[in-house]
Amino acid sequence: MKKILERIREGEILIGDGAMGTMLFERGVDISYCPERINLTNPEMLEEIAALYLKAGADLLETNTFGTSPLKLALYGLEDKTEEIISNAVTAAKNVAKRSAYVSGSVGPCGKILKPYGDTDSKTIREGFERQINTLVEAGVHVICIETMTDLAEARLAVEASKTVAPEIPVIATMTFDPTPRGYYTIMGVDIKSAAAGLEEAGADIIGSNCGNGIERMIEIARAFRMCTKMPLIIQSNAGLPRMEKGRAVYPESPEFMADCARALIPADISIIGGCCGTTPAHIKALGKMIEREQS
Protein backbone atom coordinates (compact mmCIF):
# COMPACT_ATOMS: atom_id res chain seq x y z
CA MET A 1 0.00 0.00 0.00
CA LYS A 2 0.98 3.60 -0.49
CA LYS A 3 1.80 5.48 2.68
CA ILE A 4 -1.24 7.11 4.23
CA LEU A 5 0.12 10.67 4.00
CA GLU A 6 0.96 10.16 0.34
CA ARG A 7 -2.62 9.19 -0.44
CA ILE A 8 -3.89 12.21 1.46
CA ARG A 9 -1.52 14.55 -0.38
CA GLU A 10 -2.88 13.17 -3.65
CA GLY A 11 -6.35 14.32 -2.61
CA GLU A 12 -7.88 10.97 -1.67
CA ILE A 13 -10.48 10.89 1.11
CA LEU A 14 -9.90 7.89 3.34
CA ILE A 15 -12.60 6.12 5.34
CA GLY A 16 -12.11 5.48 9.03
CA ASP A 17 -13.84 2.69 10.88
CA GLY A 18 -16.60 3.13 13.47
CA ALA A 19 -17.14 2.51 17.15
CA MET A 20 -15.32 -0.28 18.94
CA GLY A 21 -17.15 0.08 22.26
CA THR A 22 -20.56 -0.07 20.60
CA MET A 23 -19.64 -3.29 18.82
CA LEU A 24 -18.20 -4.87 21.97
CA PHE A 25 -21.31 -3.92 23.96
CA GLU A 26 -23.53 -5.56 21.34
CA ARG A 27 -21.54 -8.75 21.91
CA GLY A 28 -22.11 -8.74 25.65
CA VAL A 29 -18.86 -7.13 26.80
CA ASP A 30 -19.11 -4.90 29.88
CA ILE A 31 -17.41 -1.84 28.40
CA SER A 32 -17.83 0.11 31.64
CA TYR A 33 -15.04 -1.98 33.15
CA CYS A 34 -11.83 -1.90 31.10
CA PRO A 35 -12.96 -2.90 27.59
CA GLU A 36 -9.33 -3.67 26.75
CA ARG A 37 -9.49 -6.71 29.03
CA ILE A 38 -11.14 -8.54 26.12
CA ASN A 39 -7.76 -8.39 24.34
CA LEU A 40 -6.52 -11.01 26.79
CA THR A 41 -9.54 -13.29 26.85
CA ASN A 42 -11.10 -13.09 23.39
CA PRO A 43 -8.97 -11.42 20.70
CA GLU A 44 -10.99 -13.34 18.12
CA MET A 45 -13.87 -10.96 18.83
CA LEU A 46 -11.63 -8.07 17.83
CA GLU A 47 -10.87 -9.80 14.53
CA GLU A 48 -14.58 -10.30 13.92
CA ILE A 49 -15.29 -6.60 14.45
CA ALA A 50 -12.35 -5.50 12.32
CA ALA A 51 -13.48 -7.79 9.51
CA LEU A 52 -16.93 -6.20 9.53
CA TYR A 53 -15.43 -2.73 9.24
CA LEU A 54 -13.05 -3.82 6.49
CA LYS A 55 -15.93 -5.34 4.55
CA ALA A 56 -17.84 -2.07 5.01
CA GLY A 57 -15.00 -0.22 3.25
CA ALA A 58 -12.83 1.16 6.05
CA ASP A 59 -9.31 2.16 5.06
CA LEU A 60 -8.19 2.36 8.69
CA LEU A 61 -8.83 -0.26 11.37
CA GLU A 62 -8.30 0.94 14.92
CA THR A 63 -6.85 -1.24 17.63
CA ASN A 64 -8.73 -1.82 20.88
CA THR A 65 -6.06 0.08 22.83
CA PHE A 66 -7.79 3.36 23.67
CA GLY A 67 -7.29 2.92 27.43
CA THR A 68 -3.94 1.13 27.46
CA SER A 69 -1.71 3.77 28.95
CA PRO A 70 -0.13 1.87 31.87
CA LEU A 71 -1.42 4.65 34.11
CA LYS A 72 -4.98 3.81 33.15
CA LEU A 73 -4.51 0.05 33.17
CA ALA A 74 -3.13 0.39 36.70
CA LEU A 75 -6.61 1.45 37.81
CA TYR A 76 -7.73 -2.11 37.00
CA GLY A 77 -4.62 -3.87 38.27
CA LEU A 78 -3.48 -4.57 34.71
CA GLU A 79 -0.38 -2.38 34.36
CA ASP A 80 1.91 -5.42 34.17
CA LYS A 81 -0.19 -6.70 31.26
CA THR A 82 0.26 -3.51 29.20
CA GLU A 83 2.43 -5.02 26.48
CA GLU A 84 0.36 -8.19 26.14
CA ILE A 85 -2.93 -6.30 25.96
CA ILE A 86 -1.60 -3.95 23.27
CA SER A 87 0.19 -6.60 21.23
CA ASN A 88 -2.89 -8.83 21.13
CA ALA A 89 -5.02 -5.93 19.87
CA VAL A 90 -2.57 -5.02 17.12
CA THR A 91 -2.20 -8.63 16.04
CA ALA A 92 -5.99 -8.99 15.76
CA ALA A 93 -6.25 -5.89 13.55
CA LYS A 94 -3.25 -6.93 11.44
CA ASN A 95 -4.70 -10.40 10.86
CA VAL A 96 -7.68 -8.74 9.21
CA ALA A 97 -6.09 -5.70 7.55
CA LYS A 98 -3.27 -7.53 5.76
CA ARG A 99 -2.54 -5.23 2.79
CA SER A 100 -6.08 -3.92 2.46
CA ALA A 101 -6.19 -1.35 5.29
CA TYR A 102 -3.98 0.58 7.67
CA VAL A 103 -3.77 -0.48 11.31
CA SER A 104 -4.30 2.58 13.49
CA GLY A 105 -3.03 2.41 17.06
CA SER A 106 -5.62 4.04 19.32
CA VAL A 107 -4.28 6.17 22.19
CA GLY A 108 -6.83 7.81 24.49
CA PRO A 109 -6.43 9.94 27.62
CA CYS A 110 -4.25 8.37 30.29
CA GLY A 111 -6.83 8.62 33.06
CA LYS A 112 -4.83 11.11 35.11
CA ILE A 113 -5.04 14.90 35.30
CA LEU A 114 -1.92 16.98 34.92
CA LYS A 115 -0.69 19.22 37.69
CA PRO A 116 -1.62 21.83 38.87
CA TYR A 117 -5.26 20.77 38.31
CA GLY A 118 -4.54 17.13 39.10
CA ASP A 119 -1.90 15.12 40.93
CA THR A 120 0.26 13.77 38.09
CA ASP A 121 3.33 15.41 36.58
CA SER A 122 4.00 15.64 32.86
CA LYS A 123 7.06 13.35 32.99
CA THR A 124 5.00 10.47 34.39
CA ILE A 125 2.24 10.93 31.83
CA ARG A 126 4.66 11.21 28.92
CA GLU A 127 6.57 8.09 30.03
CA GLY A 128 3.27 6.20 30.11
CA PHE A 129 2.44 7.30 26.57
CA GLU A 130 5.94 6.36 25.40
CA ARG A 131 5.53 2.84 26.79
CA GLN A 132 2.08 2.49 25.20
CA ILE A 133 3.13 3.88 21.81
CA ASN A 134 6.41 1.96 21.71
CA THR A 135 4.44 -1.28 22.13
CA LEU A 136 1.98 -0.27 19.41
CA VAL A 137 4.83 0.49 17.01
CA GLU A 138 6.77 -2.68 17.83
CA ALA A 139 3.59 -4.70 17.22
CA GLY A 140 3.28 -3.18 13.75
CA VAL A 141 0.76 -0.33 13.53
CA HIS A 142 0.91 1.95 10.48
CA VAL A 143 -0.32 5.11 12.22
CA ILE A 144 -0.85 6.36 15.78
CA CYS A 145 -4.27 7.85 16.54
CA ILE A 146 -4.30 10.05 19.66
CA GLU A 147 -8.00 10.69 20.21
CA THR A 148 -10.79 12.03 22.41
CA MET A 149 -8.43 14.45 24.12
CA THR A 150 -9.77 17.40 26.08
CA ASP A 151 -6.55 18.73 27.66
CA LEU A 152 -4.25 20.21 25.02
CA ALA A 153 -1.24 19.75 27.30
CA GLU A 154 -1.93 16.01 27.58
CA ALA A 155 -2.57 15.73 23.84
CA ARG A 156 0.75 17.43 23.14
CA LEU A 157 2.56 15.04 25.48
CA ALA A 158 1.10 12.09 23.57
CA VAL A 159 2.03 13.53 20.17
CA GLU A 160 5.55 14.37 21.34
CA ALA A 161 5.92 10.90 22.85
CA SER A 162 4.94 9.34 19.53
CA LYS A 163 7.39 11.47 17.56
CA THR A 164 10.14 10.57 20.02
CA VAL A 165 9.45 6.83 19.95
CA ALA A 166 8.83 6.53 16.20
CA PRO A 167 9.30 9.75 14.22
CA GLU A 168 8.61 7.90 10.97
CA ILE A 169 5.07 6.86 12.00
CA PRO A 170 2.30 9.35 11.08
CA VAL A 171 0.32 10.76 13.99
CA ILE A 172 -3.38 11.60 14.00
CA ALA A 173 -4.48 13.79 16.91
CA THR A 174 -8.11 14.63 17.67
CA MET A 175 -9.89 16.48 20.44
CA THR A 176 -13.49 16.44 21.66
CA PHE A 177 -15.45 19.70 21.79
CA ASP A 178 -18.71 20.85 23.31
CA PRO A 179 -20.91 23.68 22.01
CA THR A 180 -20.97 26.82 24.17
CA PRO A 181 -22.38 30.34 23.66
CA ARG A 182 -18.83 31.39 22.72
CA GLY A 183 -18.23 28.56 20.26
CA TYR A 184 -16.79 25.07 20.59
CA TYR A 185 -14.52 24.29 23.55
CA THR A 186 -13.27 21.14 25.23
CA ILE A 187 -14.26 20.59 28.86
CA MET A 188 -10.76 21.83 29.74
CA GLY A 189 -11.41 25.13 27.97
CA VAL A 190 -9.51 24.57 24.72
CA ASP A 191 -10.96 26.20 21.62
CA ILE A 192 -10.54 24.93 18.08
CA LYS A 193 -7.98 27.53 17.02
CA SER A 194 -5.76 26.76 20.01
CA ALA A 195 -6.15 23.02 19.45
CA ALA A 196 -5.17 23.26 15.79
CA ALA A 197 -2.10 25.38 16.53
CA GLY A 198 -1.01 23.32 19.51
CA LEU A 199 -1.37 19.93 17.84
CA GLU A 200 0.48 21.10 14.75
CA GLU A 201 3.27 22.58 16.84
CA ALA A 202 3.61 19.32 18.78
CA GLY A 203 4.20 17.45 15.52
CA ALA A 204 0.88 15.87 14.57
CA ASP A 205 0.46 15.03 10.88
CA ILE A 206 -3.36 14.93 10.79
CA ILE A 207 -5.63 16.76 13.23
CA GLY A 208 -9.33 17.11 13.89
CA SER A 209 -12.14 15.99 16.16
CA ASN A 210 -13.90 12.85 17.28
CA CYS A 211 -16.68 11.94 19.70
CA GLY A 212 -19.03 14.12 21.71
CA ASN A 213 -21.16 15.32 18.81
CA GLY A 214 -23.40 14.09 16.03
CA ILE A 215 -22.63 14.76 12.40
CA GLU A 216 -24.34 18.17 12.16
CA ARG A 217 -22.24 19.72 14.92
CA MET A 218 -19.16 17.97 13.61
CA ILE A 219 -19.64 19.76 10.29
CA GLU A 220 -19.48 23.07 12.17
CA ILE A 221 -16.34 21.89 13.97
CA ALA A 222 -14.75 20.81 10.68
CA ARG A 223 -15.42 24.19 9.10
CA ALA A 224 -13.93 25.94 12.13
CA PHE A 225 -10.79 23.81 11.87
CA ARG A 226 -10.46 24.54 8.16
CA MET A 227 -10.69 28.27 8.79
CA CYS A 228 -7.58 28.19 10.99
CA THR A 229 -5.36 25.47 9.50
CA LYS A 230 -4.21 24.00 6.21
CA MET A 231 -3.32 20.67 7.79
CA PRO A 232 -5.00 17.38 6.78
CA LEU A 233 -8.17 16.97 8.83
CA ILE A 234 -10.04 14.00 10.25
CA ILE A 235 -13.64 14.00 11.47
CA GLN A 236 -15.20 11.04 13.30
CA SER A 237 -18.63 11.87 14.70
CA ASN A 238 -20.95 9.98 16.99
CA ALA A 239 -24.22 8.67 15.60
CA GLY A 240 -25.89 11.54 17.44
CA LEU A 241 -26.20 12.02 21.19
CA PRO A 242 -27.32 8.89 23.05
CA ARG A 243 -30.58 8.47 24.90
CA MET A 244 -31.28 5.72 27.41
CA GLU A 245 -33.88 3.13 26.43
CA LYS A 246 -34.46 0.11 28.66
CA GLY A 247 -31.11 0.59 30.34
CA ARG A 248 -29.01 0.89 27.21
CA ALA A 249 -27.66 3.83 25.20
CA VAL A 250 -29.34 4.27 21.83
CA TYR A 251 -27.81 6.53 19.21
CA PRO A 252 -30.40 8.15 16.92
CA GLU A 253 -28.54 8.94 13.69
CA SER A 254 -29.09 6.36 10.95
CA PRO A 255 -26.35 5.48 8.46
CA GLU A 256 -28.31 7.25 5.72
CA PHE A 257 -28.75 10.44 7.76
CA MET A 258 -25.09 10.57 8.74
CA ALA A 259 -23.88 9.96 5.19
CA ASP A 260 -26.25 12.52 3.70
CA CYS A 261 -25.14 15.21 6.16
CA ALA A 262 -21.48 14.25 5.80
CA ARG A 263 -21.50 15.40 2.19
CA ALA A 264 -20.88 18.87 3.65
CA LEU A 265 -17.46 17.65 4.82
CA ILE A 266 -16.23 17.33 1.22
CA PRO A 267 -16.03 21.10 0.54
CA ALA A 268 -14.20 21.48 3.88
CA ASP A 269 -11.42 19.32 2.41
CA ILE A 270 -11.54 16.61 5.07
CA SER A 271 -8.96 13.88 4.50
CA ILE A 272 -10.39 11.12 6.72
CA ILE A 273 -14.08 10.61 7.54
CA GLY A 274 -15.15 7.92 9.99
CA GLY A 275 -17.32 7.25 12.99
CA CYS A 276 -17.18 7.22 16.77
CA CYS A 277 -19.68 6.17 19.46
CA GLY A 278 -22.83 4.53 18.14
CA THR A 279 -21.56 4.07 14.61
CA THR A 280 -21.53 0.60 13.06
CA PRO A 281 -20.31 -1.03 9.85
CA ALA A 282 -23.57 0.14 8.25
CA HIS A 283 -22.61 3.76 8.96
CA ILE A 284 -19.14 3.25 7.51
CA LYS A 285 -20.54 1.60 4.40
CA ALA A 286 -22.94 4.51 3.87
CA LEU A 287 -20.13 7.04 4.32
CA GLY A 288 -18.00 5.16 1.82
CA LYS A 289 -20.72 5.14 -0.78
CA MET A 290 -21.28 8.86 -0.27
CA ILE A 291 -17.60 9.63 -0.76
CA GLU A 292 -17.47 7.46 -3.86
CA ARG A 293 -20.44 9.32 -5.36
CA GLU A 294 -19.07 12.75 -4.48
CA GLN A 295 -15.65 12.01 -5.96
CA SER A 296 -16.86 10.32 -9.14
DSSP single-letter state for residue 32: T
Position 154 scores a pLDDT of: 98
Instruction: Report the CATH number that the domain containing residue 117 is assigned in CATH.
Output: 3.20.20.330
Position 296 scores a pLDDT of: 78
Neighbours of 9 (CB within 10 A): 12
Position 192 scores a pLDDT of: 98
Label residue 38 by pLDDT band (50, 70, 90): very high
Q: Is residue 244 pLDDT above 90, yes or no?
A: no
What 3-state DSSP class applies to 226? Answer: helix
* CA atoms of 125 and 72, how far apart (whole Å): 10
* CA atoms of 102 and 293, how far apart (whole Å): 23
pLDDT tens profile 189-205: 999 999 999 999 999 99
* CA atoms of 241 and 231, how far apart (whole Å): 28
Position 78 scores a pLDDT of: 97
CA angle in degrees (0–180, nearest 5) for 104-170-278: 35
CA 295 centroid distance within chain: 24
- Helix or strand run (H / E) with residue 172: strand 171-175
- Helix or strand run (H / E) with residue 147: strand 143-149
- Residue range 52-72: average pLDDT? 98
- Total count of domains within the chain: 1
* CA atoms of 179 and 89, how far apart (whole Å): 34
The 3-class SS string of 56-102 reads HCCCEEECCCCCCCHHHHHHHCCHHHHHHHHHHHHHHHHHHHCCCCE
pLDDT tens profile 252-281: 999 999 999 999 999 999 999 999 999 999
Position 31 scores a pLDDT of: 86
Q: Is residue 248 pLDDT above 90, yes or no?
A: no
Q: Is residue 36 pLDDT above 80, yes or no?
A: yes
Label residue 245 by pLDDT band (50, 70, 90): confident
Side chain identity at residue 132, one-letter code: Q
- Residue range 94-103: average pLDDT? 97
145 closest CA partner among 172, 164, 163, 176: 172
173 pairs with which residues across the strands?
146, 207
Residue range(s) defining the domain that contains residue 130: 4-295
**Phi and psi angles of residue 60, each rounded to the nearest 5 degrees, phi first:** -125, 135
Position 239 scores a pLDDT of: 98
- Residue range 133-151: average pLDDT? 98
- Helix or strand run (H / E) with residue 180: strand 178-180
Q: Is residue 116 pLDDT above 80, yes or no?
A: yes
Q: Is residue 247 pLDDT above 80, yes or no?
A: no
DSSP single-letter state for residue 114: B
What value does the mean pLDDT of the chain take?
Answer: 97
**What is the pTM for the complete model shown?**
0.97
Q: Is residue 105 pLDDT above 80, yes or no?
A: yes
- Residue range 127-140: average pLDDT? 98
Position 167 scores a pLDDT of: 98
Label residue 1 by pLDDT band (50, 70, 90): confident
